[in-house]
């Protein structure tokens, strides 16, 4: 049994509380709060019905300024939301046929179609073809939230997120980015138009690849495995660097190789290759994301 298509009914969690015969004797907290399991179960009841394009919606302030009331607006379409794309989702019901998404796409990867009948707009469709490179320009340009990014799950009001200028770490190009953060989490990454390297443009990894920060298996502290030990142990950065410094002299020449990360700058890559060739006396060096 369902009350919304694709969603099972989930009963609300009951807040645990102290029995009345005990709480009448003091002024302590009555509700004791959810357990972790109860909180997760309650959170999973969310239907995610909020608009994830709220932070950049231009239709809401215009409707307010021009006194356009939703209750007297034309009947809404009931088109299904399209989530087939690996990076974007499309809700045709919100489309106002501005065609801004088409104009913002450099690859002719998106088309907007519709038909008119008796003054009514019918069968609105926003179609993304196989020319798409997932650059996200159409989502950034959409003024109503018709096209949004898949990883955006929490509606944010305009200027509700904190914007932090930074540099993308996925390769050594040094693209300028703008991090949109709240609750100590990154919600969205946009290209910084004032940046000299990319002028607002970003590749797929730069725009969508920040989810590694929430991975449970992400390394957050240095780990060392001592000789004849199978398990790693957590150490400080100073201990890790000392450990490496003592081990390095044993591996000079062809017994040593270095692999540069894609998340360092060109200057750091240059320093690594100099260290490998001059100090470690070998040409065994590679980069996992050659430019």
Q: Per residue in 182-192, pLDDT tens?
A: 888 888 898 88
Low-confidence stretches of the chain (pLDDT < 50) are 1-2, 291
CA dihedral 214, 133, 87, 161 (to 10 degrees): 60
Q: Are 285 and 273 in contact (CB under 8 A)?
A: yes
Q: Pick from 82, 74, 78: which is nearest to 123 by CA? A: 78
Q: Pick from 230, 87, 213, 93: which is nearest to 148 by CA? A: 87
Its CATH architecture, for the domain 162-214, is Single Sheet (2.20)
Strands 258-260 and 285-287: parallel
Domain 54-149 has CATH 3.30.70.20: yes
In the numeric block, the tokens 């950049």 are attached to: 56
Domains of the chain by residue range = 54-149, 162-214, 223-287
Q: Per residue in 207-247, pLDDT tens?
A: 888 877 778 888 889 999 887 778 899 999 999 999 988 88
């Amino acid at each position: 049994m369902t009350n919304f298509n694709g969603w099972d009914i989930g009963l609300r969690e009951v807040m645990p509380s102290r029995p009345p015969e005990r709480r009448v004797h003091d002024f302590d907290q009555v509700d004791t709060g959810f357990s972790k399991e109860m909180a997760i179960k309650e959170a999973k009841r969310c239907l995610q019905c909020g608009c994830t394009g709220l932070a950049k919606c231009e239709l809401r302030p215009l409707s307010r300024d021009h006194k356009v009331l939703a209750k007297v607006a034309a009947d809404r379409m009931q088109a299904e939301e399209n989530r087939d794309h690996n990076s974007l989702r499309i809700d045709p019901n919100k489309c106002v046929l501005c065609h801004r998404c088409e104009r913002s796409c450099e690859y002719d990867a998106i088309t907007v179609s519709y038909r008119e009948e008796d003054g009514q707009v019918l069968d609105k469709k926003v179609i993304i073809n196989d020319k798409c490179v997932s650059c996200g320009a159409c989502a950034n340009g959409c003024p109503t939230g018709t096209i949004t990014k898949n990883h955006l799950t929490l509606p944010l009001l305009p200027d509700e997120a904190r914007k932090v200028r930074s540099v993308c770490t996925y390769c050594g190009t040094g693209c300028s980015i703008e991090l949109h953060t709240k609750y100590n989490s990154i919600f969205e990454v946009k290209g910084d138009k004032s940046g000299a390297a990319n002028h607002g443009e970003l590749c797929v990894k730069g725009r969508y690849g920040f989810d590694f920060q929430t991975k449970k298996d992400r390394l957050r502290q240095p780990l060392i495995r001592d000789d004849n030990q199978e398990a790693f142990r957590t150490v400080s950065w100073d201990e890790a660097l000392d450990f490496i410094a003592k081990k390095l002299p044993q591996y000079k020449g062809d017994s040593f190789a270095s692999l540069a990360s894609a998340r360092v700058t060109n200057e750091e890559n240059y320093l690594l290759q100099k260290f490998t060739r001059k100090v470690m006396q070998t040409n065994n060096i590679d980069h996992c994301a050659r430019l």
